[in-house]
Structure 1
Amino acid sequence: MTTATGAADLAPRQYAWEIEADALKVRVGRNRMAVDGLTLSLGTGTHGLLGPNGAGKTTLIRALATVLRPAEGDLRLFGASVRGGTEQRETRRRIGYLPQEFGYYKRFTVREFVEYMAWLKEVPKRDIPGAVQRAVERVGLADRADERMKALSGGMVRRVGIAQAIVNDPAVLLLDEPTVGLDPAQRLRFRELLQQLGRDTCVVVSTHLVEDVAAACSDVVLFAEGRLVFQGTPAELAAAGSDDQPGDSPLERGYSALLDTSRGKGAW
């Protein structure tokens, strides 16, 4: 498969981890520290970011995408410190990002929208047609590529969102609740895609669905109240639980046990 390359891709690798956070704090609004003192390193592989609603997962993903600036601490992508703003242009070329909700032009076809996003990400003009075709094929939309976005179902729109996130062959791929709106068969195919992408990409998938992490992720990061609760393999997460914990699977029981420990047993 031919991919677009730039100076950053050809340069010798000078960093140990694609993502490094050291005592990272990210503020939402004036007073709430949604990420509160996070220290974390992530490299090539598929990393599941788990946690309850309000844990700070979306804020962390937005900080990794350079949408939000760190309030304190240090965040490094590809070995370079992130401070937000236009100086992050080169870093952003190497990131793929799917937010929980993304805007699109309803009159665009699938192909036109993904082409537009490739142009925004500064994929070389000669490479855009091939990059777009590969992206829509990988999400199973090659036969719908010339349909308008407004004619698609919610699950298909979500798949277009995944296509635009991978069209630039990113070195870091950030996906915030990517399986929302996907039916069971689509979720199975998406898990297979995650496994493929994680072979040579640092993929971070934010979700509250433990089964998605079990099936697709090599590493689990459990996040609660803005803090790291656990990092390890799915097997290690499962081993943290016991039969008296709530949950329908060992992974869910491990998830429940670790959250109970972090915030007090029985808390919502």
Structure 2
Amino acid sequence: MKRATSAADLAPKTYAWEVRATGLRVRAGRKRMAVDGLTLSLGTGTHGLLGPNGAGKTTLIRALATVLPPAGGELELFGVSVRGTREHRDLRRRIGYLPQEFGYYKRFTVREFVEYMAWLKEVPKPDIPGAVQRAVERVGLADRADERMKALSGGMVRRAGIAQAIVNDPAVLLLDEPTVGLDPAQRMRFRELLQELGRDSCVIVSTHLVEDVAAACSDVVLFAEGRLLFQGTPQDLAAAGGPEHPGDSPLERGYSALLSGSPDGDSPHGAASSVNTPQDRGTW
């Protein structure tokens, strides 16, 4: 069911990018600068955010969700400066966010949980039942919608988390490790959903799974030590590596090559030569 058209929907689009960062700096904790001087623009499409453990991916996602404030630089969502906005309520209506771990009332049913999140996101009351039904159907939980959250498997809880993230039809969807706990068949269906969502929204997926990026993402952002190493298509990433680089696929070899600072040839988007090689390369 389609949502009622709001004034924001009717307003002319005056921004070039849904997400735009210029020299962005964000702290994780009191001292560590987890995002350090990031310049990045993202529009409609599905963008895979890759990087080793400790690269700053989660901190970046949290800043984009307006959970963490910028410590420096500029961050704009829909052309609005996050730094200069004290009240993020209007921005959050247009954002969907799935953190790595999320809280819920265990006695809620799936439907009640997604309904509650729709209410928090200020989905118009008459539209909530249809929006909730559509969200649970899209994640394959329609037959479990009236079961309590505490009775679900870990993978099903994750799918309920994805449902709450998309219930408001967000213009920017932020997903932090969304496929954790999903079985192979569920991951394949989720990739199809990502492709569908990316046709009309800016979808940013933080993941360690290169196959998810290859199958679902139109754009790849490689992030290490809080800085941008690479931005381009999955094909560009694959072209950055060679047989001498570790990995079981061209994308993994390109990933390894860029992290090591020795890409095979010059990519049109390339690696940032000023970024040091991370010591913790993480795992796929």
Please give the range of the TM-score, normalised by the shorter of the 2 chains.
over 0.9
State the identity as a percent: 84
Could you tell me which residue of structure 2 aligns to residue 78 of structure 1? 78
The alpha-carbon deviation at position 264 of structure 1 amounts to: 3.7
What secondary structure is seen at the aligned counterpart in 1 of 2:88?
Answer: helix
Counterpart in the other structure of 2:228:
228
Question: Equivalent residue for 1:198?
Answer: 198
Contact 2:54 2:280 in 1 (8 A): no
Matched, 1:25 2:25: yes
CA apart distance, 1:263:
3.4
More helix by share: 1
Give the corresponding residue for 1:144: 144
Query: How far 1:123 moved relative to its partner?
Result: 0.2
In structure 1, C-alpha distance between the alignment counterparts of 2:29 and 2:159, rounded to whole Å: 31
Instruction: For 1:158 and 1:220, locate their aligned partners in 2 and report how far apart those are by CA, in whole Å.
Output: 23
Matched residues in 1 for 2:110 and 2:83: separation? 33
State the partner residue of 2:41.
41
CA contact (8 A) 1:4 1:127 kept: yes
| 1:175 correspondence with 2:188 | no
Query: Could you tell me which residue of structure 1 aligns to residue 98 of structure 2?
Result: 98
Instruction: Give structure 1 stretches of 5+ with no counterpart.
Output: none
Instruction: Specify the SS of the correspondent of 1:168.
Output: coil
Once the two structures are TM-superposed, the CA of residue 7 in structure 1 deviates from its matched residue by 1.4
Distance in 1 (alpha carbons) for counterparts of 2:45 and 2:81 = 21
The alignment partner of 1:263 has SS state of coil
CA distance in 1, matches of 2:49, 2:241: 18
Alignment length, in residue pairs?
268
Q: Which whole-Å deviations, capped at 9, do the CAs of 1:208-266 have from their partners, x for residues lacking one?
A: 11111000000000000000000000000000000000000000000000000043498
What is the one-letter code of the residue matched to 1:46? T
* Aligned-pair CA distance for 1:190: 0.2
Q: Does the aligned pair in 2 maintain the 1:98–1:176 contact within 8 Å?
A: yes
Using the TM superposition, give the Cα deviation of residue 180 of structure 1 relative to its aligned residue in structure 2, in angstroms.
0.3
- 1:238-249 alignment runs, 5 A limit: 238-249=238-249
Partner of 2:269: none
Q: Quote how far apart the aligned CAs of 1:4 are.
A: 3.6
8 Å contact kept, 1:119–1:128: yes
What amino acid sits opposite 1:60 in the alignment?
A: L
Q: CA deviation at 1:66?
A: 0.2
Give yes or no for contact 2:155–2:183 (8 Å, CA) kept in 1. yes
The aligned residue for residue 87 of structure 1 is: 87
Asked if structure 1 preserves the Cα contact closer than 8 Å seen for 2:57 and 2:223, the reply is yes
Show structure 2 runs of 5+ residues with no match: 262-274
| C-alpha distance in 2 between matches for 1:161 and 1:199 | 21
Query: Do the aligned partners of 1:4 and 1:168 also contact (CA within 8 Å) in 2?
Result: no
Residue 5 of structure 1 and its aligned partner are, at CA, apart by 2.8
Q: 2:276 aligned with 1:263, yes or no?
A: yes
Q: Read off the aligned partner of 1:191 and give its amino acid letter.
A: R
- Post-superposition shift, 1:83? 2.6
- What's the CA shift for 1:29? 1.7
**1:49-88 paired onto structure 2 within 5 Å:** 49-83=49-83, 87-88=87-88
CA distance in 2: counterparts of 1:94 and 1:4, whole angstroms: 14
The amino acid across from 2:213 in the alignment is: V
1: CA distance between counterparts of 2:86 and 2:138? 31
Q: In 2, distance between residues paired with 1:71 and 1:24?
A: 8
Query: Which amino acid is 1:72 matched to?
Result: G
The CA distance in 1 between the partners of 2:168 and 2:160, in whole Å, is: 14
One-letter code of the match for 1:65? A
Change (3 A) 1:14 1:176: same
Q: Are the structure 2 counterparts of residues 267 and 166 from structure 1 closer, same or farther at C-alpha, using a change threshold of 3 Å?
A: closer
Structure 2 contact 238–252 (Cα < 8 Å) conserved: yes
Q: TM-score, normalising length from structure 1?
A: 0.97
Task: Check the 8 A contact 2:225/2:278 in 1, yes or no.
Answer: no
